[in-house]
C-alpha cells in the first residue's frame, strides 16, 4: 500500500517522534509513505486563511497538485493538515470564484490541479486499509492492563461534510486500535473536545483551560496515559502539561503518546526507535507505562 | 357522419364582450365559415331566452354542432350542454369559445380584440366539424374498502365507513391494532387517558359486523383499477390459533425465552410467546419466530404442552390472500428517529447522536417516557424516582440537510410530561430545553401557560450535548435569552426525536402508485383543497402517513377520508368521463412504448393486444404523441379535432405575429381566466387553445401550426399535472431539438409550469414571448411550404 | 450596542452592506439561514473566553452591526474545532465565517480585541511565504515583544524543555527555488491587496 505522504511542518520539528514511530511500524503493516517532494505548509487551519484566504487555499492546493502528479492518495499524520488540505478540495469544488483564482495562482508556479486527490488520515489507513486483524497479528507485547485514554481531538472527526471516516460524536477507530493492542480503552466524555491548539501562541491561558479540562476527565477515568493522532494536540497535552499543572496548581502526570508509539510498543520495538525519549512528560510518571516501556 | 351543421351564438355579455368586440362584425365573418348554418348574437346567452334560442335553432335548423362564443367554458359549459341536450343534441357536440376572460377583458384595442375573437371562433368551427357524440359510461364499483394501517387513523376510518354500511378490511401488520396511541399514557391538552379513549374503539372495531381485522398482514401487490381493486396480502403466521386462544397467559409463564418488548419501547421484557399488550385486539398470543427455540434449534415447545385450549399451532404457515375492494385508505402512521444513529442515515454536515441515547439507561425518548409513566415513573438505571428531569426538544428535527420538518408534537408532549411528572412526583424538577414552543392547537397555549404556572423551567436554547457522568447526566446548552452557558446535572433526560414515515411507506407508495413528498411522507393531491386524496383515483390517505400531527388532527383527516371514500363508492357506480385515450388496433404493433408514459398505469398488454383501462385513464393524452405508430387517440381531443383547431386559429387577417398557446385545461387555463378577471392587459397576438395536458401536443401538431400560419408556440402546464416534475421541460426540449431539422428556430417554442394564482407569470410570458417573436419576425411563406414538404416527406 | 450595557440599536450603528459583504466570503452565503437556536453557543469549547457567543455574532451580523462584530473577541478566539458546525441544524459553516470576519477585521484595520492575533496571522503568513514551511523559533521571536513577561518566562522554560528533547528545529527548511513557490505568494498577495 503506497501513499503520497504529506508530513506537515510539525513532523519535522516538534513532532519528529510521531513520524519515527510511524516509520518503524509501517514496515510491519505493508505501508509505504512516499514524501511529496518540496511540499509546503498546508496553511495551518486559519493561521494563513485569516490573513489571506486565497493564499491559504493556494498553499493547500499546491500540495494537492504535486500529489496528483504522483497519482496516489495523500496520507497525513497531522489532523490539522488533514482538515486544511480537505478544505481546499471542498472549496475548489463548491466555490467557482475561489477555484479560478487559485488556479491562476498555482499556474504561476507551473502547476495545475484537476481535483482528483483523496486525502486520508493515517488512522483511517490503519483502521480501514490495513485492518485491525493485521495489526493484531503483529502484536508481540500485548499491553495488558494498560489503561489508555484515546484523545481524538477535533479535526480528525469534524467537520462531517469532508471525507470523514469515523463518527463525529462517538468515534471508535482508536478505541478499537487500543483494544487490538491488548490494552484497555478508557471511556471518558472528552474524546473529541477541542484542546485549543490554534490558540496556543496567542491565547495561551484559554488554551490551557481547554486542555486542562480533558486531561482531568481522562485522569479521573483512571487512564494511565493518553494517545493522540495529532502533533498539535500532542504539543498541548504533552509539552504544555507542566505549565498547566503549575498554572492551575493541579497534578496530572499523564504521559502522552502518539498512537504510532503505542502501536510500536505493542509490536515490541525498541523505545529509541519510537522516539519515546522525546516525549516531554516522562513516561515514568505512570507506573503502568513505565513497566511496559522498560520491558521493550 | 352527416354533413356538419353548425350553430354559432355570440354573446354580448351585457357589454362585457360587445363593448370591446364588434360582435356584429364577428357575426358577419363567422357566418361565412365552412359548415356554419346559423350565426346569431344575443345580449345574454346564458339567460333563458338565450338558451331557448339554442334549443329552438337545433330543432328548426337540424343543427348537429353548436358553438357558444361567450365567457369561459369553466363558467357555463355545463349550462349550455344541458340546453343542447334538452333539444336532443349530444352534449359533446357543443363547445365554447372564450371571448371574454381571454379576449374582451384583456385587450382594449377594439380592432385587435374583434379580429382575435373571430379567429378563436373560426378555429372552433373547424374543430367542431370533427366532434363525435360521446356517452359518459358508468361502471359498477365494489363497495368494500381496504384500510391499510390499524392505528387510530385506520380504526376511526373503519368505524366511519362500517357505520355507513361499507364492508371494511382493516389490515394491520402487527399482531394487534392500536398503533402508537396504544403506547401513550395521557393525551394533551385534556390529559385524557389514551387507552380509555382508544380501547373502546379497538373493541368496537373487532366486534363490528362490517369490519374484518386482518392482522399480521401486509399488502404485497395491487391489481385492478379504481372502484375494482385487488389487494394481495401476505399474512404471517402467529403460531397461535386466534379463535382458540383465551389469553390466559399460562404459556408465557413457562416460556424460557425473553426479549425486550416492542410495546414497552425496550424498557421491559416479554416472553417469546406473548400478548402484544394487555388490551391487544385481537386478544390472542403470538410467537416470535426469530427467537423461538423450536424454530431455531428444534427444541422446547413447552408452551404447547401447557396450553389448555390447545391453541398453539407450530404448523401454521404464511398465507397469501386477496381482497377485492373499491377503494383503499393508506394510513400507515409514523416511527421515531433512533437518536443513537447519525452518520448511517445522513451523510453530510449534521449529527444528532450527541444526546447520549444508548450510552446511559436514563436517556430515554418521549415514547419511552410514556411507558415509564404507566409503569410507575422511575429511572431505568436504578428503579428510583427521578428528581431532576431534562426534556430535550427537536432531536434530529428542523435540520437543513436531513429532517427539515418540525415533529409538531414535541413541545406539547414535553409540557404534558412535565405536568404529569409533577403530579406523580411533586418534588420533581422538570426542565424543558426548547428552540421554539409550538402550541398551535385548541387549548394548547392555555396548557403551556399552566406549565409555566407550575414552575416548569423553560430554557431557550437547543441542547448541545448530553454527557453521561457516572450515575447522572450533564446537559449542556446555552440559555440564549441570558447568553449564559448552562451545565446542569439531571437524573433523567427525555428526548423528542424527529418523526419519520413508518418503515415500508416508500415501498407501499410504489405499490399503490402514491407519490412521496420531499419529506418522504405520502403526498396529497393538493395542499389546501385535496389534502386526503392521493394522485390515484380511489386511493386515499390519512394520519401521520401524510406527515406528523397530533391525534385530533388525525381524527379530522380520517373523517374527511372516510367521507371521500363514501362519495366515491356511494352510488355503487362510478361515472366516467368519456374523454379518455383509446387504442386504434389496426395501427398498433404492440411495441409497448406507451406503457411507461402513463402516469396512472392505465395502459397494459392483454391477450387481445394493448388496452387502456378507461377507469384508470385520466385523459391527459400524454401517451398520444408518444406512440410511434399514431395508434392512440384521445376522445374529445382527437388528432383530427386538434389539427383542425390549430389550422383555424393560425389563420388571421393582418401581419401581426401569430402565437398559439396550448394551456392545460384546468390549472393553466384557470390561471388565464383569473388574469382576465383582474382585467390585466396583454397582447392579442396570443391565442389560447385548451388541451387536457400539454403532453398531448406533439411535434406534428407544432409543425402543423407553423405550416398553418403560426409564428410562435407556448406550452403552459399546471404544476399539479400528471407530468412529473421536469416532464414538460423534457417534452418541449425534445421537440425543440426536432424543430431544427425542419428549419424552425427552437426559440419559437417556449414552456412554463404554473400554479393557478400565478397569472402574472403567465401574462409576463405572453408579453416577452410576443416581443421575441416580433423581433424574430414572421416565418416566411416559402419556409412554411418547406416545412410542409419536409414533414410529408418524413412520413 | 457600542458597549455591553447599551440597550439600544440605532441606525447609525448598522451597516446595510455588511450582509452582502458576508455573503461573498466562503460559507457566508448561508448566514441568513441562522435560526438563533443556540446550539453553537452551547457547544463551543472556547465560549467561556468570548465576549459574545457565536450565536450572538450571527444575530449581530443579521442586524448589520459590523463594528461590534469585528471588534469582538469571539471572532479571534474561535479555534475552528467545528463542533458548532457539525451540530448546527441549518448547516452553517461557522468557523469559516469567523475566519472570514478575522480577515475582514484585518483588512478594515479594526483594532482586534486580542491585539496579538492579527500580528500572529501576519507573522505566520510572512514566514510561510518566505520559507514555504513554518519555522517556529522565528515566529516566537516575531511575537516576543508582544507577549507578557509571565508568558515570556513560560515560553523560555518550554523552549528549553523542547530543545533538550531535540524537538526544536533551529534551522528553517527551504523549498527548492525551481518550484517557483514565490510566484504563488506574489500572486496571492497582490490579489489580497486588491480587495
* Rounded Cα gap, residues B668 and B681, in angstroms: 17
Identify the pLDDT of residue C1: 43
Domain end (from C59, C87, C107): C107
Nearest chain B CA: its distance from C82 CA (Å) = 10
Region B210-216: mean pLDDT is 98
Nearest to A159 among B349, B359, B465 (CB): B349
Query: What is the mean pLDDT of the segment spanning B556-560?
Result: 97
Q: Last residue of some domain: C107, C131, C155? A: C107
- Mind listing the pLDDT tens digit for each residue in A147-170? 999 999 999 999 876 667 888 888
Inter-chain CB proximity B350 and A170 less than 8 Å: no
The pLDDT score that the predictor gives to residue A45 is: 92
Q: pLDDT exceeding 90 applies to what percent of chain B?
A: 82
CATH placement of domain B1-136: 3.40.50
Distance from CA of A137 to the nearest CA of C (A): 32
Q: Does the pLDDT of residue B607 top 90, yes or no?
A: no
Q: Provide the pLDDT for residue B35.
A: 94
To the nearest whole angstrom, how far is the Cα of C142 from the nearest Cα of chain A?
11
Which candidate, B625, B763, B628, places its Cα nearest to that of B682? B763
Do C149 and C98 belong together in one domain?
A: no
User: Is any Cβ of chain B less than 8 angstroms from the Cβ of A160?
Assistant: yes
A202 chain-C contacts, CB cut-off 8 A? 76, 114, 116-117, 120, 143
- State mean pLDDT over B198-203: 97
Region B412-421 average pLDDT = 97
A284 Cα distance to chain centroid: 23
Among A202-206, B178-182, B236-240, C54-58, the minimum mean pLDDT is found in: A202-206
Query: Contact C47/B478, CB-based, under 8 Å?
Result: yes
Contact call for A9 and C133, based on CB within 8 A: yes
Asked whether the predicted pLDDT for residue B795 surpasses 60, the reply is no
Does some domain include residue C6?
A: no
- Does domain B144-334+542-569 bear CATH number 3.40.50.720? no
Q: Give per-residue pLDDT as tens, A112-122.
A: 999 889 999 99
Going by CATH, does the domain composed of A2-121 fall within 3.50.50.60? no
Q: How many angstroms separate the CA atoms of A154 and C83, rounded?
A: 8
The boundaries of the domain holding residue C126 are: 116-194
The confidence score (pLDDT) of residue C56 equals: 97
**Average pLDDT, integer, range B283-292:** 96
Q: Give the tens place of pLDDT for each residue, B689-734.
A: 999 999 999 999 999 999 999 999 999 998 777 776 567 888 899 9
Name every chain A residue with its beta carbon within 8 A of the beta carbon of C162.
Answer: 14, 239, 280
Counting DSSP H helices and E strands in chain C, the numbers are: 11, 0
The CATH 1.20.1050.140 domain(s) of chain A lie at 2-121
CATH fold for domain B347-500: FAD/NAD(P)-binding domain (3.50.50)
Domain end residue (candidates: C107, C124, C150): C107
What pLDDT band is residue B163 in, cutting at 50, 70 and 90?
Answer: very high
**pLDDT confidence of residue B350:** 54
- CA–CA separation, B295 and B314 (whole Å): 9
Contact B350 C88 (CB under 8 A): yes
pLDDT tens-digit profile of B91-112? 999 999 999 999 999 999 999 9
**pLDDT classification of B379: cutoffs 50, 70, 90:** very high
The ipTM is 0.92
Instruction: Quote the pLDDT of residue B724.
Output: 60
pLDDT band at C145 (very low <50, low <70, confident <90, very high): low
Whether the per-residue pLDDT at C5 is higher than 60: the answer is no
Residues of A in contact with B359 (CB under 8 A): 170
User: For residue B488, what pLDDT is reported?
Assistant: 97
Digit-coded pLDDT (tens) for A126-150: 999 999 999 999 999 999 999 999 9
* Among B349-363, B562-576, B752-766, the least confident range: B349-363
B56 pLDDT above the threshold of 90: yes
CATH number given to B580-632: 3.30.70.20
User: B285 near B251, Cβ under 8 Å?
Assistant: yes
Whether residues B478 and C56 touch (CB distance < 8 A) is answered with no
Whole-angstrom distance, CA of residue B169 vs CA of residue B323 = 8
Mean pLDDT of B524-535: 86
Same domain, C120 and C97: no
Residue range A245-271, pLDDT digits in tens:
999 999 999 999 999 999 999 999 998
| Cα nearest neighbour of A49 on chain C | C99
Average pLDDT value over all residues in chain A? 92
Q: How many CB atoms lie within 10 A of CB C96?
A: 23
| Number of compact structural domains in chain C | 2
For residue C107, which residues of chain A lie inside 8 Å, CB to CB? none
Per-residue pLDDT at A87 exceeds 90: yes
Q: Which of B342, B358, B363 to probe by mutation at the A interface, max A CB count within 10 Å? A: B342
Instruction: Tell whether the model's pLDDT for residue B794 goes beyond 70.
Output: no
Q: What is the pLDDT of residue B535?
A: 77
Provide the greatest CA pair distance for chain B: 99
Give the separation between CA A259 and CA A226, rounded to whole angstroms.
Answer: 9
pLDDT bucket at C176, cuts 50 / 70 / 90:
confident
The CATH code of the domain at B637-795 is: 3.40.50
Listed in sequence order, the residues at least 6 apart from B413 whose beta carbon sits closer than 8 Å to its beta carbon are: B188, B366, B496
Percentage helix, strand, coil for chain B under 3-state DSSP, each rounded to 5: 35, 25, 40
Where along chain A do the CATH 3.40.50.11810 domains lie? 138-295
Q: Which residues of B touch A169 (CB under 8 A)?
A: 342, 351, 353-354, 465
CA-nearest residue of chain B to A191?
A: B467
Beta-bridge mates of residue B260: B269
Flag whether pLDDT at A272 surpasses 70: yes
For residue B224, name the pLDDT band (cuts at 50, 70, 90).
Answer: confident
Residue with cell 438505571: B381
C99 plus C123 within the same structural domain = no
* Digit-coded pLDDT (tens) for B661-693: 999 998 899 889 989 988 999 999 999 999 999
Residue pairs spanning B and C at CB distance below 8 A: 78
Same domain, C100 and C122: no
Query: Which is more confidently placed, C178 or B396?
Result: B396
Inform me whether the pLDDT recorded for B342 exceeds 60: no
Give B346's pLDDT tier (boundaries 50, 70, 90): very low
C55 part of a folded domain: yes
Q: Are the Cβ atoms of B462 and C42 closer than 8 angstroms?
A: yes
Q: Closest to A169 (Cβ–Cβ): which among B349, B354, B468?
A: B354
C5 to chain A nearest CA, in Å? 25
B343, B358, B402, best to mutate vs chain A, most A CBs in 10 Å: B343
Round the average pLDDT of chain C to a whole number and report it.
Answer: 88
CB atoms within 10 A of CB B674: 18
> Which residues of chain A make contact with B350, given a CB cutoff of 8 A?
160
Subunit contact B467:A189, Cβ cutoff 8 A: yes
Start-end of CATH 3.50.50.60 domains in chain B: 144-334+542-569, 347-500
Q: Write out pLDDT tens, residues B179-190.
A: 999 999 999 999
For the segment B765-791, the average pLDDT, to the nearest whole number, is 92
pLDDT at B400: 81
Q: Is residue C48 part of a domain?
A: yes
From B350, B464, B480, residue closest to C36, measured CB to CB: B480
Tell me the C-alpha distance between B733 and B143, whole Å. 45
Domain match, C98 and C18 both: yes
Q: Which of C39, C47, C91 sits opposite B400 (nearest CB)?
A: C91
Mutation for testing the A interface, residue in C46, C73, C74, C80 having most A CBs under 10 Å: C80
Give the gap in angstroms from C-alpha C99 to the nearest C-alpha of chain A: 5
Q: Which residues of C touch A201 (CB under 8 A)?
A: 120, 139-140, 143
On average, the pLDDT of chain B sits at 93
pTM of the prediction? 0.82
CA distance B54 to A268: 106
Question: Looking at beta carbons, which residues of chain B come within 8 Å of A159?
Answer: 349
Cβ of A94 under 8 Å from any chain B Cβ?
A: no
For residue B71, give Cα distances in angstroms to B41, B78, B106: 14, 13, 13
Please give the pLDDT value at position B380.
96
Task: Determine, yes or no, domain membership for C190.
Answer: yes
Q: Do A159 and B343 touch (CB under 8 A)?
A: no
Element (H, E) at B274: strand B273-274
* Nearest Cβ partner for C99 among A46, A209, A240: A46
Chain A: give the shortest CA distance to residue C175, in Å: 6
pLDDT category, B345, cuts 50, 70, 90?
very low
C139 in the same domain as C96 = no
Q: Which 3 state secondary structure label does DSSP give B447?
A: helix
Q: Are residues C123 and C59 in the same domain?
A: no
pLDDT of the residue at B652: 81
Residues on chain C touching A53 (C-beta within 8 angstroms): 25-26, 99-100, 103, 192
Predicted local confidence at residue B536, as pLDDT:
82
Domain with CATH 3.40.50 in chain B: 1-136, 637-795
Q: Could you give the CA distance from residue B563 to residue C139 in angstroms, rounded to a whole number?
A: 78
* B neighbours by CB contacts (3+ pairs under 8 Å): A, C
C-alpha distances (whole Å) from A285 to each of A245, A253, A259, B527, C6 are 14, 6, 18, 69, 52
What residues contact residue A222 under an 8 Å CB cut-off, 6+ apart? A147, A186
Q: What is the mean pLDDT of the segment spanning B634-657?
A: 93
Q: Is A168 on the interface with B (CB under 8 A)?
A: yes
What architecture (CATH level 2) is domain A138-295? 3-Layer(aba) Sandwich (3.40)
- Residues paired with residue B253 on neighbouring β-strands, in sequence order: none
Sequential DSSP letters for B53-112: HHHHHHHHHT--EEEEEES-HHHHHHHHHHHHHHTT--GGGEEEEE-IIIIITT---HHH
Domain(s) of CATH 3.30.70.20: residues in chain B: 580-632
Amino acid at each position: 500500500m503506497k501513499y503520497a505522504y504529506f508530513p506537515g511542518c510539525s513532523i519535522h520539528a516538534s513532532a519528529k517522534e510521531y513520524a519515527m514511530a510511524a516509520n518503524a511500524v509501517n514496515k510491519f503493516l505493508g505501508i509505504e509513505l512516499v514524501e511529496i517532494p518540496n511540499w509546503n505548509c498546508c496553511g495551518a487551519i486559519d493561521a494563513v486563511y485569516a490573513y489571506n484566504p486565497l493564499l491559504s487555499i493556494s498553499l493547500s492546493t499546491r500540495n494537492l497538485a504535486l500529489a496528483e502528479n504522483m497519482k496516489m492518495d495523500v496520507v497525513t499524520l497531522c489532523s490539522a493538515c488533514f482538515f486544511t488540505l480537505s478544505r481546499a478540495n471542498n472549496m475548489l469544488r463548491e466555490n467557482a470564484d475561489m477555484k479560478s483564482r487559485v488556479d491562476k495562482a498555482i499556474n504561476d508556479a507551473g502547476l495545475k490541479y484537476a481535483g482528483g486527490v483523496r486525502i486520508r488520515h493515517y488512522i483511517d489507513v490503519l483502521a480501514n486499509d490495513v485492518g485491525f486483524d493485521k495489526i493484531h497479528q503483529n502484536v508481540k507485547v500485548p499491553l495488558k492492563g494498560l489503561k489508555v485514554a484515546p484523545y481524538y481531538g477535533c479535526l480528525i472527526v469534524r467537520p462531517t461534510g469532508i471525507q470523514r471516516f469515523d463518527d463525529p460524536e462517538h468515534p471508535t477507530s482508536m478505541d478499537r486500535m487500543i483494544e487490538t493492542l491488548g490494552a484497555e480503552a478508557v471511556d471518558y466524555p472528552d474524546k473529541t473536545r477541542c484542546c485549543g491548539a490554534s490558540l496556543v501562541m496567542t491565547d495561551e491561558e484559554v488554551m490551557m483551560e481547554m486542555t486542562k479540562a480533558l486531561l482531568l476527565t481522562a485522569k479521573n477515568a483512571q487512564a494511565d496515559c493518553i494517545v493522540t493522532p495529532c502533533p498539535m494536540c500532542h504539543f498541548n497535552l504533552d509539552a504544555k502539561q507542566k505549565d498547566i499543572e503549575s498554572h492551575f496548581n493541579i497534578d496530572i502526570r499523564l504521559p502522552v503518546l502518539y498512537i504510532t508509539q503505542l502501536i510500536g510498543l505493542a509490536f515490541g520495538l525498541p523505545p529509541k526507535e519510537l522516539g519515546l525519549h522525546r516525549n516531554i512528560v516522562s513516561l515514568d510518571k505512570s507506573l503502568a507505562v513505565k513497566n511496559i516501556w522498560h520491558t521493550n | 357522419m352527416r354533413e356538419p351543421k353548425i350553430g354559432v351564438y355570440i354573446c354580448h355579455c351585457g357589454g362585457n364582450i360587445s363593448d370591446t368586440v364588434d360582435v356584429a362584425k364577428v357575426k358577419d365573418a363567422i357566418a361565412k365559415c365552412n359548415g356554419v348554418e346559423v350565426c346569431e348574437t344575443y345580449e345574454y346567452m346564458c339567460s333563458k331566452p338565450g338558451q331557448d334560442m339554442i334549443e329552438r335553432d337545433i330543432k328548426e335548423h337540424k343543427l348537429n354542432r353548436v358553438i357558444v362564443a361567450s365567457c369561459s367554458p369553466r363558467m357555463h359549459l355545463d349550462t349550455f350542454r344541458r340546453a343542447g341536450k334538452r333539444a336532443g343534441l349530444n352534449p359533446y357536440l357543443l363547445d365554447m369559445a372564450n371571448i371574454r376572460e381571454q379576449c374582451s377583458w384583456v385587450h382594449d384595442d377594439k380592432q385587435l380584440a374583434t379580429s382575435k375573437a373571430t379567429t378563436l371562433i373560426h378555429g372552433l368551427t373547424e374543430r367542431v366539424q370533427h366532434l363525435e357524440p360521446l356517452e359518459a359510461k358508468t361502471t359498477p364499483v365494489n363497495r368494500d374498502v381496504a384500510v391499510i394501517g390499524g392505528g387510530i387513523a385506520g380504526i376511526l376510518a373503519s368505524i366511519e365507513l362500517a357505520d355507513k354500511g361499507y364492508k371494511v378490511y382493516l389490515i394491520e401488520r402487527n399482531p394487534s391494532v392500536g398503533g402508537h396511541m396504544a403506547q401513550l399514557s395521557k393525551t394533551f391538552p385534556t390529559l385524557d387517558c389514551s387507552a380509555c379513549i382508544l380501547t373502546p374503539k379497538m373493541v368496537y372495531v373487532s366486534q363490528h359486523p362490517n369490519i374484518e381485522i386482518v392482522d399480521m398482514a401486509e399488502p404485497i401487490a395491487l391489481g385492478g383499477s379504481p372502484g375494482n381493486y385487488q389487494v394481495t396480502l401476505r399474512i404471517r403466521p402467529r403460531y397461535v390459533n386466534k379463535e382458540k386462544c383465551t389469553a390466559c397467559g399460562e404459556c408465557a409463564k413457562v416460556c424460557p425465552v425473553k426479549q425486550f418488548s416492542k410495546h414497552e419501547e425496550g424498557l421491559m421484557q416479554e416472553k417469546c410467546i406473548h400478548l402484544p399488550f394487555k388490551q391487544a385486539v385481537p386478544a390472542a398470543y403470538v410467537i416470535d419466530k426469530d427467537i423461538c427455540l423450536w424454530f431455531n434449534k428444534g427444541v422446547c415447545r413447552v408452551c404447547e404442552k401447557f396450553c389448555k385450549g390447545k391453541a398453539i399451532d407450530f404448523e401454521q404457515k404464511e398465507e397469501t390472500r386477496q381482497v377485492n375492494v373499491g377503494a383503499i385508505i393508506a394510513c400507515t402512521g409514523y416511527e421515531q428517529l433512533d437518536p443513537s444513529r447519525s452518520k448511517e442515515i445522513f451523510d453530510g454536515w449534521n449529527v444528532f447522536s450527541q444526546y447520549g441515547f444508548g450510552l446511559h439507561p436514563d436517556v430515554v425518548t418521549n415514547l419511552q417516557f410514556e411507558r415509564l409513566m404507566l409503569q410507575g415513573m422511575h429511572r431505568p438505571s436504578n428503579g428510583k424516582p427521578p428528581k431532576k428531569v431534562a426534556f430535550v426538544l427537536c432531536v434530529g428535527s428542523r435540520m437543513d440537510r436531513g429532517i427539515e420538518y418540525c415533529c409538531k408534537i414535541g413541545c406539547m408532549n414535553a409540557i404534558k410530561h412535565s405536568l404529569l411528572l409533577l403530579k406523580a412526583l411533586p418534588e420533581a424538577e422538570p426542565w424543558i430545553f426548547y428552540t421554539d414552543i409550538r402550541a398551535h392547537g385548541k387549548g394548547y397555549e392555555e396548557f403551556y401557560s399552566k406549565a409555566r404556572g407550575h414552575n416548569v423551567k423553560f430554557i431557550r436554547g437547543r441542547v448541545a450535548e448530553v454527557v453521561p457522568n457516572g450515575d447522572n447526566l450533564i446537559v449542556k446548552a446555552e440559555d440564549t435569552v441570558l447568553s449564559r452557558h448552562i451545565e446542569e446535572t439531571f437524573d433523567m433526560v427525555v428526548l423528542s426525536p424527529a418523526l419519520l414515515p413508518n418503515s415500508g411507506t416508500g415501498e407501499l407508495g410504489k405499490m399503490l402508485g402514491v407519490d412521496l413528498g420531499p419529506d418522504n411522507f405520502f403526498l396529497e393531491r393538493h395542499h389546501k383543497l385535496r389534502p386526503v386524496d392521493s394522485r390515484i383515483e380511489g386511493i386515499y390517505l390519512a394520519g401521520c402517513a401524510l406527515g406528523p400531527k397530533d391525534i385530533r388532527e388525525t381524527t379530522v383527516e380520517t373523517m374527511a377520508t372516510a367521507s371521500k371514500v363514501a362519495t366515491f363508492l356511494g352510488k355503487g357506480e362510478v361515472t366516467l368521463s368519456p374523454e379518455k385515450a383509446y387504442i386504434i388496433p389496426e395501427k398498433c404493433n404492440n411495441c409497448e412504448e406507451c406503457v411507461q408514459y402513463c402516469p396512472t398505469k392505465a395502459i397494459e398488454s392483454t391477450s387481445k393486444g394493448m388496452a387502456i383501462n378507461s377507469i384508470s385513464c385520466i385523459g391527459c393524452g400524454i401517451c398520444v404523441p408518444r406512440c410511434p405508430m399514431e395508434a392512440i387517440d384521445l376522445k374529445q381531443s382527437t388528432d383530427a379535432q386538434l389539427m383542425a383547431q390549430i389550422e383555424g386559429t393560425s389563420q388571421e387577417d393582418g401581419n401581426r405575429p401569430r402565437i398559439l398557446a396550448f394551456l392545460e385545461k384546468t390549472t393553466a387555463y384557470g390561471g388565464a381566466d383569473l388574469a382576465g378577471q383582474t382585467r390585466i392587459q396583454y397582447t392579442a397576438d396570443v391565442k389560447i387553445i385548451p388541451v387536457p395536458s400539454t403532453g398531448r401536443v406533439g411535434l406534428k401538431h407544432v409543425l402543423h401550426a407553423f405550416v398553418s400560419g403560426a409564428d410562435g408556440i407556448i406550452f403552459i402546464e399546471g404544476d399539479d399535472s400528471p407530468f412529473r416534475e421536469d416532464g414538460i421541460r423534457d417534452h418541449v426540449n425534445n421537440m425543440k431539438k426536432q424543430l431544427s431539422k425542419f428549419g424552425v428556430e427552437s426559440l419559437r417554442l417556449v414552456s412554463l409550469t404554473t400554479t393557478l394564482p400565478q397569472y402574472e407569470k403567465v401574462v409576463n410570458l405572453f408579453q416577452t414571448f410576443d416581443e421575441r417573436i416580433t423581433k424574430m419576425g414572421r416565418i416566411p411563406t416559402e419556409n412554411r411550404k418547406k416545412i410542409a414538404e419536409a414533414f410529408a416527406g418524413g412520413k | 450596542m457600542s458597549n455591553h450595557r447599551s440597550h439600544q440599536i440605532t441606525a447609525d450603528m448598522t451597516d446595510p452592506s455588511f450582509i452582502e459583504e458576508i455573503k461573498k466570503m466562503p460559507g457566508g452565503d448561508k448566514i441568513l439561514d441562522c435560526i438563533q437556536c443556540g446550539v453553537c453557543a452551547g457547544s463551543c469549547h472556547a465560549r467561556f473566553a468570548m465576549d459574545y457567543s457565536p450565536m450572538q455574532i450571527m444575530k449581530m451580523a443579521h442586524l448589520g452591526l459590523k463594528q461590534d462584530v469585528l471588534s469582538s473577541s469571539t471572532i479571534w478566539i474561535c479555534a475552528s474545532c467545528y463542533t458548532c458546525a457539525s451540530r448546527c441544524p441549518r448547516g452553517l459553516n461557522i468557523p469559516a465565517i469567523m475566519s472570514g470576519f478575522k480577515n475582514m477585521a484585518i483588512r478594515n484595520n479594526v483594532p482586534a480585541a486580542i491585539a496579538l492575533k492579527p500580528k500572529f496571522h501576519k507573522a505566520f503568513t510572512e514566514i510561510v511565504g518566505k520559507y514555504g514551511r513554518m519555522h517556529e523559533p522565528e515566529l516566537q521571536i516575531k511575537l516576543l515583544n508582544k507577549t507578557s513577561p509571565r508568558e515570556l518566562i513560560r515560553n523560555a522554560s518550554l523552549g528549553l524543555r523542547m530543545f533538550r528533547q531535540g524537538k526544536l528545529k533551529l534551522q528553517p527548511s527551504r523549498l527548492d527555488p525551481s518550484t517557483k513557490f514565490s510566484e504563488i505568494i506574489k500572486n496571492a498577495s497582490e490579489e489580497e491587496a486588491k480587495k
